[in-house]
Amino acid sequence: MTAPSDLVPAWIEGRLVPIDKLAAHLEGRRHKAVSVFVMDGDTVLIQRRALGKYHTPGLWANTCCTHPHWDEAPKDCAVRRLREELGIEGLTPVFAGQVEYRADVGGGMTEHEVVDIFTARAPHDLTVAPNPSEVMEVRWIALTELMDEVEAAPDRFTPWLRIYLADHRARIFAA
């Protein structure tokens, strides 16, 4: 039986319905997602996904990304996942827009996501305590350096981070 927290909002036959998260990826279903970019000046906090993740393990991604629970507001989801993945408390995510993408994430899985993107400004003394089952490493990196690294070694980064930087950088990093 699927736990309620494993159900994500997905569109099936034109209706938004709860579907198992893994099934959404295996079937390439269009579904809701949330991505967060935490910034400190011109640097962004990125994470390297834990090796136990069921797709894209060990790849670098934006600060955090996830799927809202069936009945969860996107901003509440962003706050929850900052806490659950990175131990980050007290930030106020700001909605930066919505994007849709479709990407092969390996293992026969496809992410077809409609993503609410949030940014959050971090204080210089932000406490980050990664959950090792979610995140194996974090680092702060200047946006220009991140762009250079993605260009030089794209396979070290998740497909969605590459898409965000290539197609939506101005919207995400406008402030």
Torsion-angle region of residue 9: left (phi > 0), alpha (psi -120 to 50) or beta?
beta
Radius of gyration of the chain (CA): 15
- By annotation, the residues acting in catalysis are 65, 113
Residues with Cβ within 8 Å of 6's Cβ and at least 6 positions away in sequence, in order, are 20, 21, 22
Whether residue 63 contacts residue 45, with contact meaning beta carbons closer than 8 Å, is answered with yes
Point out which residues pair with 13 in neighbouring strands: none
Question: In one letter, which amino acid is 21?
Answer: K
